[in-house]
Amino acid sequence: MSLPHCPQCHSEFTYEDAGNYVCPECAHEWSQTDSVEADDAKVFKDASGNVLQDGDTVTLIKDLKLKGSSGVIKVGTKVKNIRLIDGDHDIDCKIEGFGAMQLKSEFVRKA
């Protein structure tokens, strides 16, 4: 089993000490449970199962009604330069003609 690299200086020479990892180069210490949580980073996927990343362009696969308005964002609307966030709605973006909003990744497909 290989030990994780230091999260501060990215040194590969970390070692274990009393339930913690220690970096000999920058003297940073972190617990082993912190390292496990960092490896389980959330992966964002679109409706087709493609992995999404910040800056991607996506297309809506469903008409979306705007809350508090009578407007509808139509199927096929392209959304450029998305930003992924944690929460119920995973995508933060700006849609031309509608402004800034948040979308769920289950209603988009990577373009």
**Residue 42: per-residue pLDDT:** 79
**Residue 102: per-residue pLDDT:** 93
Number of residues written out for the chain: 111
**Residue 18: per-residue pLDDT:** 85
User: Quick one: tokens of 106?
Assistant: 């289950």
Instruction: Write out the chain's pLDDT in tens, 111 residues.
Output: 688 888 888 888 999 988 899 999 998 898 887 655 554 567 899 999 999 999 999 999 999 998 888 889 999 999 999 999 988 899 999 999 899 999 999 999 998
**Residue 41: per-residue pLDDT:** 66
Give the separation between CA 94 and CA 9, rounded to whole angstroms.
35
Beta strand residue intervals within the chain, DSSP E? 15-17, 20-22, 29-31, 58-60, 64-65, 72-73, 78-79, 83-84, 91-95, 99-103, 108-110
**Residue 86: per-residue pLDDT:** 87
What does pTM read for this prediction? 0.63
